[in-house]
Structure 1
Amino acid sequence: MTRLDGVRSRGRRQREEGTARGRRWFRALLAVLVTAAVVVPLTAAIRPRIPAPAPAALAPATAATLDETYAANRANAALASRMAAAHGDRHRAAADRTLAAPSRRLLAFDGRGAGRATEVFGDLAHADRVAVLVPGSDTSLDTYGRFDAGAQALYKRLTRQTGARTAVIAWLGYTTPGTVSTTVITPARADEAAPGLREFVSELRAVTAPDVRISLLCHSYGSVVCGRAAPGLDVDDLVLLGSPGTGADSAAGLRTRARVWAARGADDWVADVPHASVDLLFTTVGFGVDPVSPSFGARVFAAGDGGHSDYFSPGSVSLTNLARIVLGRTTEVSRA
């Protein structure tokens, strides 16, 4: 066999292996679709709808009315807790009751369905730097504790910096998809969520100081939401964590003035998710180019050895770098 024949043979094997991987990916995709189509409706049917009041009718918050907004939303959460308890759902009642505590600062609350909440940590009206966290799949009022813990960990890390006036916002402003569902592999929920995120950031600018810098930290499916909303977002930094893709082929394709960052922990299973997109029936399945790949063009930073849920773990490399990004200390961010 000549050297040229060897090269051709290796190229043929690589193409065949790529085709085989593609077939396996397609079969796995179909299996997920079929499973989700059967399991998810049945699961939804098993759990009865939890009664809850409509959200408090409030005008957009201003710096002067923040305390009134917080109080009204706490009262709404307390009412939702009582209604859930009367319905026999002790878990939801406890979750709502926790958010109704006097120390909580809720910019928004909706106890209906999976539930939504927007919570502030810190003095929002006087902050120089604000971080907004956008969660991924399976985040709801029932699982809000873990999302809340990540926001609190970041706020505590930020407040260790002398002279920094910061605030962190946990934005559960959309109905997230289930991890085992058809919606988690399509942009449908992200398309629904994007206008709400744009509106929220716009209203946030009316509450905060004129020169405040806003960083958007988007985890997992939340990065798809941020990708969809990016062209209309007035933010300074857009951070993609454990992202399956954004739907854009590159950071430039997001059409944002913000600096685009990306990171993935060494033990994050999302690395094994095919970063591709396929037009299937009436939707697109998958989210395209891997944001940590060189071809995407983001500022890739180190996230340590953590897994998919570890980006906000206290003491982690990832949390340290996220704090540096939010504080604008970008030259100190350690690169992957």
Structure 2
Amino acid sequence: MRQISILCALMAAFLLCLPGAASAEDLKVGFIYVSPVGDAGYSYAHDLGRQAVEQMDGVTTSYVEAVPEGPDAERVLLNMSRKDFDLIFATSYGYMDSVIKVAKRFPEITYMHCSGFKRAENVGTYFGRMYQARYLTGMVAGEMTDSNVLGYVAAYPIPELIRGINAFTLGAQAVNPDVKVRVVWTKSWYDPATEKEAALSLLDVGADVIAQHVDSPAPQEAAAEKGAYSVGYNSNMAQFAPEAHLTSAVWNWDNLYPEIAEQVVQDTWESQDIWAGLNEGIIGLAPYGPMVPESVQAEVEEAKAAIQNDELTVFAGPLKDQDGTVKVPEGDSMTDEEMLGMTWFVQGVIGTTE
């Protein structure tokens, strides 16, 4: 019996040494963030996902925050890769080329890049259909505005943000056809002072609801100071402006990151593009503020269910651009490829795409 036990132990040890038979007991997972983690915002939402991975048996995680896009990102990726990490999440669009470059040197490591489009055998991409949540928050804003002017503080004029602004506008127009959405670009993912200044400039020209696609809660605070309403992004921002905050479009990375880590452990991971939405729980809405009437909440929840049941398509025709040119005819809807490459604003948006 003792010989059989020893033999079984040796066989188990041999199997664990086989390629692809990694155990969670030695799984090292790294995360790279473009902004400080803080207590709200984009990197905070990703870090909640990291914490969920950390809870897995035998898994260790670490992260580097406030890593600028460009050469610094490549340096951090190289440093992490040299430390024998098994799985690395690079969580900002501008890390894309650095990920591809470094991944070629470390084919044994699995890399996941958020919001990008370049993949390799050991590089996958992932993002969420945040435009669905944006549409719903637009509905809330459209119902709550008195001036019919909504402000939107946004980082960079890239398809991801343009798509979100358009979805927000369409949601608002679905309940209030008179709504206009004014956009100000900050040209930065995280710059609280500039974000607040941009929000104040929108409030000064009549906006009474401020939405955002930037990382800090500064736009929420600006709205609260001026007695306006606000819509947050990335994580629930109610704590920063409780009297102003209507809801937030939020990321739920804890519903994805452990699944990817488990795939690496089980050697079932394959390079692919993940673009998940409301049905997968990757995106959602923060709780409604107490100022949002129950009738509005019910209306938004009905639209949410319709999106989940494929009864409501956000980018369905007829859709016109700012100049009145038909971009999506009635009866048609945009393909994923068209949405991912969106570079034009819908009617009702005031601002430029550059």
Length-normalised TM-score, structure 2: 0.29
Quick check: which one's helix share is greater?
1
Higher relative contact order (CA 8 A, sep 6+): 2
Quick check: which one's strand share is greater?
2
Length-normalised TM-score, structure 1: 0.30
